[in-house]
Structures are given as C-alpha cells and as structure tokens.
Amino acid sequence: MDLDALRHGNFSQLGEAITDWEEMTRKLATLKDDARNNLKGRADKASWKGVNAQVSREFIDKTAQEFADAHTQADTITNILKDTRNELVGYHAQLAEAITRGDKKNLTVIDTGHGTFTVTGNTRPDWASDPSGKTSANNQQDADDLRDEIQRILSKATESDNSAAKALKLLVDQAKYGFSSSHYENRDDAAKAIADADQMARILAKNPHDVTNTELASLNAALARYKNDPLFAEEFATQVGPKKVLTFWAGIADPYPGTYDPDRAKQAKQLQKNLGTTIGLATLSDSDKMQGWEKQMIKLGPDQLGIDDASNPTGYAVMSNLMRFGDYDDQFLNDYGDKLLAYDKKVNGEGINLWVNNNNQGDLNFWGYKNDRGRDPVTGFLEALGHNPDASTQFFTQPDGAGDTVNKDSEVNEHLKYLTKERVWTADTTLEGKHGYVAGRNSLGHALEAATTGFPCDASAEEIKDGGEHRTALTAGVMEQVSYLYGSKGGPEMLHDQPELADSLGKMAGAYIDDIDHDLSGVGEYEKDTGTFPAKYAGRANFSQEGAINFLSVLGQDENSHRAVTAAQHLYTLSALDAYPPSSDTNIEHAHDALTAGAQARGILDNSRVQQAETTYKEGSDEANKSLGRSAEWIKLGVGTTVGVGIGAIPLPGSTAAAVVIAPIAADTAGEALNTFIGQQIDKGVDDREQDPAEAAQLTSSQFYKKGENQLGLAYHTYIKDSPRAAEVANNQNWNDDIKNAYLGVGSSENDYRGRAPYKD
C-alpha cells in the first residue's frame, strides 16, 4: 500500500458501502425467514403428489436455501468490510500521528511510489535553540526509527487490505451461480483461515519422508479444525496442487520398506480422513481454479506417479482412497467415475483383476484395512458414492427411454450392469482379513443404498427419520434396475456369488416396502394414488407383481437380506393399521388388504429362507435350525424404532448403530398398533425368550413359520383390540384365515409361483 493512499485516504465511500451492505443483510434476513417459514414450511406441509411433489418441492427447497446462502454471504461481506475499514482507519490515525511527531523533529516523509517512501531531515539550523547549527532534526537515529515505525504501519495496513481482498474474491468465486455458504464474523477469521491453509500447504510441499510426526499432528489438527471451512479448503487444495496431494498421501500411507512407525501410522489414519474431507469440501467450489484442479486430478488418474512409495501407484489408486471420506461435488465424482470405469475395463477381464496382484504391494487404506488394503481404486470410489447420495443416484441413473418397469438388460445403466454382472472382483485382504471377503462388493452395496434411498449409507436413525422427500423418481429408477437384476433369471446365483451385497439389498428393499406391497397386492392402475397403498413420496418404484414376487423370493434366501426386509415389512404393516383405524368400512378393507399383502410378503420371504437353509445345510440339521433362529430375530427389531413423518429407522442386530433399515410408514405418526407392538407386547410372540440364545435358535421349519404367523396374528388382534367395531371386524371379516392362507399359502409347494430356485452348494 502506498503511503499517500493511507495518509490521504477517504473512507467515507467505504463507510457508505458498509451501510448499504448492512441494510441488504437485514432485508435478506427477512427474506430468508420468510422463505424458510412460509415458502418451504408450507411446501413441506402440502400433500403434493407425483411430479408436482418432486419438481416443485425440490425447487422450493433449493430456492429457500439460496435465500439462506444469500444472507450468509451478505453478512460475511459486511463483517469483512466493516472490520477492514475499522482497521484501516486505525492505521490511518497511527500514520498521521507518526508523521506529526516527525514534523516536530524536522523530519519529512515523502511517498516515492510503488509502496516505497523516504524519511529526510530538514538541514535548516534552528539558531534560536542551537547557535552551533546542529539540530536533533538531523539525527539519523530519529529518521531510522520513524522510517521503521511507518513501515510497520504500512505493512499491517497492506496485510489488512490484501487479505480482505483475497477473502472476498475467494468468497465470491466459490459460487458461479447463487451464493456461498461460507460465514465469517470478521476479517481476521477469514484471513487466519487462509493463512493457516497456506501454512499447512507448505507441509505437503515437503518430501513426505522428511515430515515429522509433530508436523503430521499439526496438519491433522488444522484440517480437523477447518473441516467445514470452504475458504480454507480451497486455498489449501489449490496451493498444494493435485499431484502433490497424491504423492504426499502415498508417501505417508505406504513409504518404502523399513520405515514403519506405529505412532506415525495413527497420524496417517487420521490424515486419510481429514485430507479426504478437506479435498471434498474444496471440490464444492465453482471457482476457475478448482475447476482446473478437478480436471487435472482426473487426468492424473491412469498415470503412475513415478515414486518409490506404495508400489508406484496410479492417480486413481491414491485419490480413490482419499475420497472415501467427505462431501464431494457430484459432477466431479461422476466425471471421475466415468473415466475410472472406462480405464478399469481395459485392465480387467478374463478372470483377472490387475489392480490386486502380487506385484502391487501398496497399502493406501487405513480404514478396514484387514479386508481392504486400498489397492482396487473402484472400491474407494464406490465408498465415496455411498457417502454422496445425489452423485450415486446420478451415476446409476436409469437410461433414457426405459419403460415403466425394467424388464430387459438394455434398460439397465451400463455402470450398474458392469459392476454387478461383468466386473472381476478380487479379495483385497491382508493375512488377518476374512478369507474370500470382497470389500469392493460391500462398497458397491453402500453406493446402491445411497443411490436408491437418497441418504448416505451410514446415516443414523435420527438423521433419516424425517427424510421421505429423499425418495425421488430418480432414486426409484435405480431401485427398479436393482430389483430387475437380482429378481430376474440368474438373480439367485448373483446374490449367492455376492454375499457382501445381501444386507444392502435388504435395506434397499426395506426402503421401498410400500411400493413392493403395492405391486404385490395386485392393485390395478399403477399411477393411482388412492387405495390401500397410496404413493406417499415423489418417487414410486414400479416392480410389477411378478417382479415383486421374484425379488422377494431371492432376498428371502439370504439370512441378512431376509431379516432386513422382514423388519421393514412388519413396521410398514403395523403403521398401515395405524393409518386405517377401524372406524369405517373403507378403513377396515384397507387394513385387511395391508395385512394380507404383508402376509404374502412374509410367506415368500420365509419360504425362501427355509428352503435355502435346508439346501445349504441339511433339512432339520442343527446348523439349519440355528440359521432359521437367527432369521427369526426380526421380531425384536421394532425395539428402539425411530418413527418420523413417513420414515421408520430400525437398527439391524449385529451391526453398527448406523446400520439401519429405512422403512416407510403408512401413517404420519406412530399410533396404537405400532406403539403397542414395539412397546409392551414385543416379546409375546417369542417363545422361550428367557432361554440362552443358542438354545432358542433351535427351530424346526414349522416353528419358524409359526413365529411369523404369531406375529401377524398379534398385529391383527392389536388392530381390533378395544375398537368400537371389534366384534363386527372379527365376525364379518374372516381375517385370521385370510392372513394365514396368504402367509402359508404363497409359501406352500402347491402354490409356489416364485419361479426362483434356492442357492445350490
């Protein structure tokens, strides 16, 4: 900053600009509140159906968010401008005071341009005070001290001005359309974030082998502290550059032999997560710098990095392990994935996965490394999709021109077809891992969970309870493809060969159990939103009756998918009874239809489970009975159910707290039937519940069926209990027989129209 610019600066125009921004911020705050409370609030409460529910509600949600972001950005700009003006006014006063003191010592300060200046002494002697002609004004020390003081003031003013300009430019450039969500209370916070990003980038500029554990700890701390700061993320990523990110992580994760340090490994594990999260946040920026960064990163994908670390990996191998964590730009992930799979098809085939082999001894993944060393980049990419639902839905979207129901391979997304039917998958384990376990297929399941439900695969029950709007026509389109692939000819063999996908397929079916029941029941016109199974969400999957039967019969054969779908089915059936209290003939008919459809679904699932247990083991064997016993544990899954508006979240036994079945519910709130069941009466249908679990698991096939029948009977009795029309319902509707026939009849050998054979040993 030039001396005269600060000395003669007029800050009135900047003050006026700040006043305008303050007024703008206040107006945007009003608009933000109005958009949230009136626009979005009313849209959330509206009973819209079909395309209107999908398109209009999504548009309104985005519009409301834009108003919120506009207010956030305006407030940040106001804060930075105000803080910067106050600082510059202060430096202006300090400069004026220093120059005045210099004048008293006959020192002259002259602006020489381009940020330079001189301080000179006045040689005219002051005869009155010093007859010898010598004066303190000519004291060189005074001149040097004044020069240094002024230089410090100008340096601080320059830093204040430049950092404010850089922060404002970064802020505005982040959103090419719309507004940035970055928020800062003052210029200092924004400037510190940028300065810290530059400081951390200097660590990555070093040879990773020369970086100390202390430096790694400092890097982890900063990345974690700024994990939600877009300005920090972009400044850090652009200062480091794509290739250095890759070579640095490879060198930290898997340096050349003989350098293993357990303390360093702990820091490296956290760095994988923190670095991936920061890079992901940076990709959300629309700035030209980040657009160029993303293109360069994708270009580096197939190239080996030319380093000694991690078996000289490709860019894909490294970046895919970093993107396991973080929220990434959807288009970046899709562009990256398109290129990755195109390259993957070149290096895989004829029964060989060239990523995983003895020549590649790199270890780039610290999370679940016992089963997943990170050598196969498709695995890490699919994990990224599992945490980025919109990107995953886009990646597996149904091809244009597909019909109402997917019934041929040409109507299946090429990526989905390749990953489920064509790709060669290989176990990427260490000696401690599960034999034959393919982590990549588990990651594919995570990606498909996100693509079909609209939630991250590891979303908690609390996060999903009010999320029915996440189901769209696009997510439903992915679900239809999955159902076709695993429900059509060859589906049982596919699932048998891909056991890592079973739990995910069960959760996905659970998320669409309302649409499965709708089609299973044989309801006529698919488009109608009336009847027992109305379209509750914008996205309704069309399975067809045959498709629903086929899909359920395959899922029933696996223990993990069976328990997930039956849990969701039970929750949905109970909630349907809440939605249709026995207060009218129409409601009674709807409740009967819901219970009958639920019984049909359970019959298909349980028949498949019994047949498969007997095929896998031996009829009546201890192992078969134990397997059926574990499958019967669905009864207790209702305990702890989180029920929101349209969504029920059921934790799966033997899984992490985040592993839940996302099940729709028919009623907007949990009523008597559901609450009664998941409350006091949860154990009434479970015999010998106080026994040791191993003993309780000894079930015959008939006992297994009986448990399901008991629970359906309990649901029926809960429905009519204490109802004003209980006697009428019980006497005039032979529900017990109807439900029993639906449950046992569908599964009987005389009426087995599933058309799906069980797995073979």
C-alpha span between 719 and 729 (Å, rounded): 10
Closest CA to 575 of 642, 627, 482, 492: 642
C-alpha span between 511 and 564 (Å, rounded): 10
Residue 525 confidence (pLDDT): 46
Residue 72 confidence (pLDDT): 74
Q: In this structure, are strands 348-349 and 352-353 parallel, antiparallel, or unpaired?
A: antiparallel
Q: What are phi and psi of 515, to 5 degrees?
A: -70, -35
Alpha-carbon distances, residue 279 vs 10, 107, 234, 328, 363 (angstroms): 41, 53, 8, 8, 20
C-alpha span between 484 and 508 (Å, rounded): 13
Residue 754 confidence (pLDDT): 41
Any long-range contacts for 27-30 (C-beta under 8 Å, 24+ apart)? Answer: 28/67, 28/70, 28/71, 28/74, 29/71
DSSP state of 309: G
Contacts of 395 by beta carbon, 8 Å cutoff, 6+ apart = 333, 334, 337, 385, 415, 447, 451
Q: What SS3 class is residue 234?
A: helix
CB 137 within 8 A of CB 122: yes
Residue 717 confidence (pLDDT): 78
Q: Which amino acid is at 9?
A: G
Residue 658 confidence (pLDDT): 54
- The residue length of the chain stands at 761
Residue 391 confidence (pLDDT): 97
Q: Which two tokens stand for residue 554?
A: 């395959």
Residue 630 confidence (pLDDT): 81
C-alpha span between 598 and 677 (Å, rounded): 16
* Dihedral sign of CA atoms 301, 305, 308, 312 in order: positive
Through-space distance between the first and last CA atoms of the chain, rounded to whole angstroms: 79
CB 449 within 8 A of CB 512: no
Residue 517 confidence (pLDDT): 94
C-alpha span between 737 and 307 (Å, rounded): 72
Q: 651 has which bridge partners?
A: 660
CB 253 within 8 A of CB 276: no
C-alpha span between 86 and 317 (Å, rounded): 49
The runs of H, that is alpha helices, within 639-761 are: 672-678, 693-696, 701-720, 726-732, 735-740, 746-747
Residue 286 confidence (pLDDT): 84
Place of tokens 């303190």: 136
* Dihedral sign of CA atoms 619, 620, 621, 626 in order: positive
Q: Which amino acid is at 21?
A: W
Q: What SS3 class is residue 485?
A: helix
Residue 734 confidence (pLDDT): 67
C-alpha span between 621 and 317 (Å, rounded): 46
Residue 235 confidence (pLDDT): 94
CB-CB neighbours of 62 under 10 Å: 11
Residue 270 confidence (pLDDT): 97
Contacts of 740 by beta carbon, 8 Å cutoff, 6+ apart = 599, 709, 712
Written in H, E and C, the secondary structure of 397-437 is CCCCCCCCCCCCHHHCCHHHHHHHHHCCCCCECCCCCCCCC
CB 9 within 8 A of CB 91: no
Which residue segments constitute the domains of the chain, with CATH numbers given? 3-124+134-173 (1.20.1260), 187-378 (no CATH), 503-751 (no CATH)
CB-CB neighbours of 357 under 10 Å: 12
* DSSP codes joined into one string, 208-227: GGG--HHHHHHHHHHHHHTT
Q: In this structure, are strands 116-121 and 348-349 parallel, antiparallel, or unpaired?
A: unpaired
Strand order in the sheet with 647-651: 642-643, 647-651, 660-664
Which residue numbers in the chain have pLDDT < 70? 38-68, 122-138, 174-186, 257-260, 349-351, 401-403, 431, 466-468, 523-530, 619-620, 633-640, 653-658, 677-698, 722-734, 745-761
CB 5 within 8 A of CB 117: no
